[in-house]
Chains A and B, each alone.
Chain A
Amino acid sequence: MAKKTMTIHLKIWRQAGPDASGRLVDYTVEANPHMSFLEMLDVLNEDLIKKGEEPVEFDYDCREGICGSCGVVVDGIAHGPQHRTAVCQLHMRHYRDGDTIVVEPWRAEAFPVIRDLVVDRGAFDRIISAGGYVSVNTGSAQDANNLPVPKPNADQAFDYAACIGCGACVAACPNASASLFTAAKIAHLALLPQGSPERQLRVERMVSQMQVEGFGDCSNHAECEAVCPKGISISAIARMRREYVKACLAGG
């Protein structure tokens, strides 16, 4: 009978801590083709634990492509070769028995490695804190239909709001720029009436925070759009730039 599992050779980035130097370590694992990429890593970790070795640290939560926790660079592509999915939604059936896969963490100065494949994405939180919100007064709840939103705007805002903040855009960008993440939030809120009052401050603050965190500048490679699990378009970045110019002109 044909073999039900597949032998996968892995080269995984192992790094003991933020200041330790890391290296690729070779492993071999027997995986079931129906497993997700992360389940395959689980199998590896069980083997490692049984052998008394340190398991490979990697981030995840929902494992259904909606939380944005997971993310590793698989054979040079953030979230792996399958478009519009997070790595938790990549399945081993896309690989062949005997394949070798290189697994690395997101690499950017703004995303320091904590351990193995886990990086600190706190920089994204600070960009959001800088302006990626709308201020709402507390008190009695507003009527839901108080603020009409034209359907095309609502649809487009929703496309941008789909960002799960995984950081693949930064990881894939040749410049390690956070432009797509930042722009998705700015574009999403700029399209809605709730976002309008603070739009000027928002774009100025979020853009400057992006720089404070040490992300690179955008060179319009559009690699971010290709790896985004939600397929967010770089038109968000164009919109961020228009918002920025408007804010500068209005700022006097």
Chain B
Amino acid sequence: MNTTKRQSFIKSPVGKKILTGITGLGLVIFVIEHMSGNLILMLEGSDAYNAYAHFLEGLGPILYLLELGLLAFFVFHIVLGINIWLGKRRARTHRYVKYRSAGKPSMQSPSSRSMIITGGILLVFLVIHLVSFKFGPGGPLHADPAYVTTVKGEVMRDLSKLVLEKFHHPAYAFGYPIVMLLLGVHLRHGIWSAFQSLGATNPRLTPGLYALGGLLALLIALGFLVLPLWIYFGGAA
């Protein structure tokens, strides 16, 4: 692909969708991985959780590369999402006095209409989340002897302690589940939509894909929101 092609791909209405779709699905894979990691704390306890986080840190350059890729996916996804939203506002400056969906086979839903809102909230959440945990006490740029532990003779960050502390605050314990429900709302339309954006659908596949996308969105939201609630209501004690 030469340079002019690459530029026109990212500016093209179809190229943009393909990239939002790829980055969206990449982020879905990431959140599933992240969710499974979190559940270790609930299912196997603090030591296993800390050991898992330590293992990830131990990947060193591989982890940095993955993080860089993840960052790129987020940046592309967000920039394109905002670009598509701005473009649609320009494409109809004069709104309808009365507008409603014609119903099936339309897939327009509160979820599909609110991608920019749920996405925007996720973006704000992401910053708070990274500051609270990844770059929180005991993390990079924030050494803190209170958040160090030893598991099977190995010294490592006590991430579990931080997580348990945070989710004893009602703001975290209840704020997180709300945001995770909104992630579910984003993905209710998002997962199906990404496949359609990649051209990987046909009329026979679509209903099943839409249903499975919704189910996966629900499972992801639930998988994330049980942990804060479990901790707040004393499950970890």
Among A110, A177, A217, A234, point to the contact of B196 (Cβ < 8 A): A234
B14 with A244: CB separation less than 8 A: yes
Chain B binder among A42-50, A132-140, A218-226: A218-226
Task: Give every chain A residue within 8 A of B92 (Cβ-Cβ).
Answer: 107-109, 175-176, 216
Among B13, B107, B108, point to the contact of A179 (Cβ < 8 A): B13
B96 with A104: CB separation less than 8 A: yes
A240 contacts B by Cβ under 8 Å: yes
- Which residue on B lies nearest to A73, using beta carbons? B96
Chain B binder among A61-69, A77-85, A144-152, A192-200: A77-85
A241 with B104: CB separation less than 8 A: no
A238 with B96: CB separation less than 8 A: no
B188 contacts A by Cβ under 8 Å: no
Task: Give every chain A residue within 8 A of B193 (Cβ-Cβ).
Answer: 219-220
Chain A binder among B15-23, B141-149, B222-230: B15-23
Among A13, A77, A108, A237, point to the contact of B91 (Cβ < 8 A): A108
Per the bound structure, the CA–CA distance linking A104 and B11 in Å amounts to 32
B176 contacts A by Cβ under 8 Å: no
Per the bound structure, the CA–CA distance linking A218 and B115 in Å amounts to 13
B91 with A219: CB separation less than 8 A: no
- Give the Cβ gap from B195 to chain A, nearest Cβ, in Å: 9
- Give the Cβ gap from B193 to chain A, nearest Cβ, in Å: 4
Task: Give every chain B residue within 8 A of A36 (Cβ-Cβ).
Answer: none
A102 with B102: CB separation less than 8 A: no
B199 contacts A by Cβ under 8 Å: yes
A208 with B12: CB separation less than 8 A: yes
B8 contacts A by Cβ under 8 Å: yes
- Give the Cβ gap from A89 to chain B, nearest Cβ, in Å: 15
- Which residue on A lies nearest to B89, using beta carbons? A216
- Give the Cβ gap from A112 to chain B, nearest Cβ, in Å: 10
- Give the Cβ gap from B166 to chain A, nearest Cβ, in Å: 35
* Residues A223 and B106 in contact in the complex (CB < 8 Å), given A76-B100, A102-B98, A107-B96: yes
- Give the Cβ gap from B96 to chain A, nearest Cβ, in Å: 6
- Give the Cβ gap from A117 to chain B, nearest Cβ, in Å: 13
B14 with A104: CB separation less than 8 A: no
Task: Give every chain A residue within 8 A of B14 (Cβ-Cβ).
Answer: 203, 207, 240-241, 244
B90 contacts A by Cβ under 8 Å: yes
- Contact code string B1-44 (vs A, CB < 8 Å = 1, else 0): 11001001101111111100000000000000000000000000
Chain A binder among B59-67, B120-128, B129-137, B200-208: B200-208
Choose among B13, B98, B206 the residue with the greatest number of A CB atoms under 10 Å from its CB: B13
- Which residue on B lies nearest to A233, using beta carbons? B203
- Give the Cβ gap from A125 to chain B, nearest Cβ, in Å: 18
Task: Give every chain B residue within 8 A of A108 (Cβ-Cβ).
Answer: 91-92
A216 with B91: CB separation less than 8 A: yes
- Give the Cβ gap from B135 to chain A, nearest Cβ, in Å: 33
- Contact code string A166-181 (vs B, CB < 8 Å = 1, else 0): 0000001011110100
Which chain A residues in 69-127 approach chain B with CB under 8 Å? 73, 75-78, 81, 83, 102, 104, 107-110
B49 contacts A by Cβ under 8 Å: no
Task: Give every chain A residue within 8 A of B88 (Cβ-Cβ).
Answer: 174-177, 216-217, 219
Task: Give every chain B residue within 8 A of A28 (Cβ-Cβ).
Answer: none
Task: Give every chain B residue within 8 A of A174 (Cβ-Cβ).
Answer: 88, 108, 113
A251 contacts B by Cβ under 8 Å: yes
A interface list, Cβ under 8 A from B: 11, 13, 24, 73, 75-78, 81, 83, 102, 104, 107-110, 172, 174-177, 179, 203, 207-208, 210-211, 214-223, 225-227, 233-235, 237-242, 244-245, 248, 251-252
8 of the cross-chain contacts (CB-CB < 8 Å) are: A216-B92, A219-B112, A220-B112, A220-B189, A220-B196, A226-B106, A233-B203, A241-B17
Known A218-B17, A220-B189, A248-B9; 10 more pairs at CB < 8 Å = A107-B96, A203-B14, A217-B84, A219-B115, A220-B197, A235-B201, A235-B202, A244-B14, A252-B1, A252-B2
B interface list, Cβ under 8 A from A: 1-2, 5, 8-9, 11-18, 84, 87-88, 90-108, 112-113, 115, 189, 192-193, 196-203, 206
Top 7 A-B pairs ranked by shortest CB distance? Answer: A216-B91, A241-B199, A175-B88, A226-B106, A216-B88, A242-B199, A176-B91
